[in-house]
Each structure stands twice: as C-alpha cells, then as structure tokens.
Structure 1
Amino acid sequence: MIDPAQLTDPAVRAFVSAVNAGDRDAFEALLAPGATMSDDGSDRNLTEWADKEIFSSGGHMSVASESDGGRGLIVDYRNNTWGEMRTAWRFDVTTDGRISRFETGQA
C-alpha cells in the first residue's frame, strides 16, 4: 500500500487524507465550486454521496497504486456499510489545485 503522504498529486493526496481522517471540512475545502462525481458510472449528488459513503459510515482509502500523474488510483476502500472492496478512482483537478470531479467504481 502507498502511504497517502507519498501520493504524487497534492489535491488527491489531501483528498485521501481528508477521507481517512473523517474530516468533512477539509474534504469540502478541496472541492471546486460545482464539483461533481460519479459512482459506478452514474452521476450522484456529491454532498449526499460523501455523507453516506464516507462520513457517516467510516470510509477509509488504502491506496494500492496510482497512475496518470497521481490522478488515477486503485484503492481498497472500506466503510461500515459495504465492508471492503477494490475500487478505481479518477480525479479532475483545476489549475488552482481543487477537485472539480471524481469518479469511482469497482476496479
């Protein structure tokens, strides 16, 4: 596994750290205005999804590998709802270093 502090892209590194710390404020500060996301190919309401899949269920990301300059991750993701699963994550980052979109789904 890759230590989150060693991830290449600073925005993705901060995202993983915020998720693992359960830090909703840090997570939201990373998002660009109007940020979007999808889960298994379906667009979701980002705020509702994050609350359900991360913050109210103890979400945690163990990064197995990274690609695309650190904006693509393979993660063993776990939460109290679904247990652990291998997932793929892809991030779009703005020029000012905020996440404008992320996509996740089964790897």
Structure 2
Amino acid sequence: MKTLNHYVIYGTLITSAVNAQAAKTPAATIQNINAMNTEKLNNPIVKQAIDALQSGDKQAWFSLFTNDAQLFDDGNKMDFKTFFEKALGHERFTSIDKVEQNGLHLYGKFHSDQWGDFKTYFKFTIGAGNKISKLEIGQAG
C-alpha cells in the first residue's frame, strides 16, 4: 500500500511542478506553442491544406485532394494515403519562410515526431474541381 500511495504523491508532485511552471508562462505563449503564422498563404486551397496539416485533421486534409492524388517525397513516388495516414498529427510546419508560384510552393521549418526538425518544401498542384492532384515534399537546402 505504501508503494501505491508513493506513486500517487509523486504524481501529484509532478503535476504541481508542471502547473507551477505553467502559471509563470504567459497565456499567449501556452496558446501559441503549436500555432503558426499562416498570413503568407495566399492560395485558399493551400491554406486549408496547411490548416488541416497543422491540426492533424485527416478528414479536412483528404477532402482537399483528388482520389488519385500523387505524392513525391524528395522525388520518390510514395503512396499518398498511406503516407499521410501516418504523418497527420505527427508532422507540421513550425514556420513558413517563403511562398512562391501564386501560393502553391511553400518553404519553411518543419517538425516531424519521427525525423526531428528540418527545412522543407511543399509544392502543390491543383487540378480539376479545385482539388489538389499532386504534392511534392522534401528537404529544402
């Protein structure tokens, strides 16, 4: 019984320490930990896609793409659906540094729970019905 009580007390102490640190951190900082400025995104379809990526919203993400959307990762053709089923909720931009080609090409810093932090590009191709038909992603220099 002492062991069980010890863990409960220990858990409470950890929670108290985390809450004490959070109390010292401005609320705006806490709210913006995963937020990112998307003002540079001037293509509404790309903005919707990045918003879905950032929030890990699979339904919103997949609804923006054609059924046969193509994905290329550093030039290698990948299975779009399988790739993003795994990636959504675990990968996101931390900043968007440059937008080109009428808002279809994005360059910025990226975080992947699996691969860490790196610079990346996303290049969208929008086809019929204003759906994304192709996405090229990869590490940017």
Give the TM-score normalised by the residue count of structure 1: 0.89
Partner of 2:92: 60
Greater RCO, 1 or 2 (C-alpha within 8 Å, sep 6+): 1
Counting strand residues as a fraction of each chain, which structure ranks higher? 1
2:70–2:77 CA contact under 8 A, matched in 1:
yes
CA distance 1:5–1:17, shift in 2 (3 Å): farther
Listed as ranges, the gaps of 5+ residues in structure 1 are none
Match status 1:71 vs 2:104:
yes
1:71-96 CA distance string (max 9 Å, x none)? 01102111210111101111100242
Counting helix residues as a fraction of each chain, which structure ranks higher? 2
When structure 1 is superposed on structure 2, of 33-42 and 46-55 the one drifting more is: 46-55
Instruction: Output the CA distance in 1 between the equivalents of 2:77 and 2:40.
Output: 29
Q: Which aligned runs of 4 or more in structure 1 are off by greater than 4 angstroms?
A: none
1:54–1:79 CA contact under 8 A, matched in 2:
no
Instruction: Output the CA distance in 2 between the equivalents of 1:97 and 1:4.
Output: 20
2:40–2:96 CA contact under 8 A, matched in 1:
no
Partner of 1:47: 81
TM-aligned CA deviation for residue 49 of structure 1 = 0.8
When structure 1 is superposed on structure 2, of 21-30 and 73-82 the one drifting more is: 73-82
Partner of 1:106: 139
Match status 1:92 vs 2:138:
no
1:10–1:97 CA contact under 8 A, matched in 2:
no
Report sequence identity in percent. 25
Listed as ranges, the gaps of 5+ residues in structure 2 are 1-35
RMSD: 1.5
Instruction: Output the CA distance in 2 between the equivalents of 1:67 and 1:76.
Output: 16
Instruction: Output the CA distance in 2 between the equivalents of 1:84 and 1:54.
Output: 16
Give the TM-score normalised by the residue count of structure 2: 0.69
1:5–1:13 CA contact under 8 A, matched in 2:
no
Partner of 1:24: 58
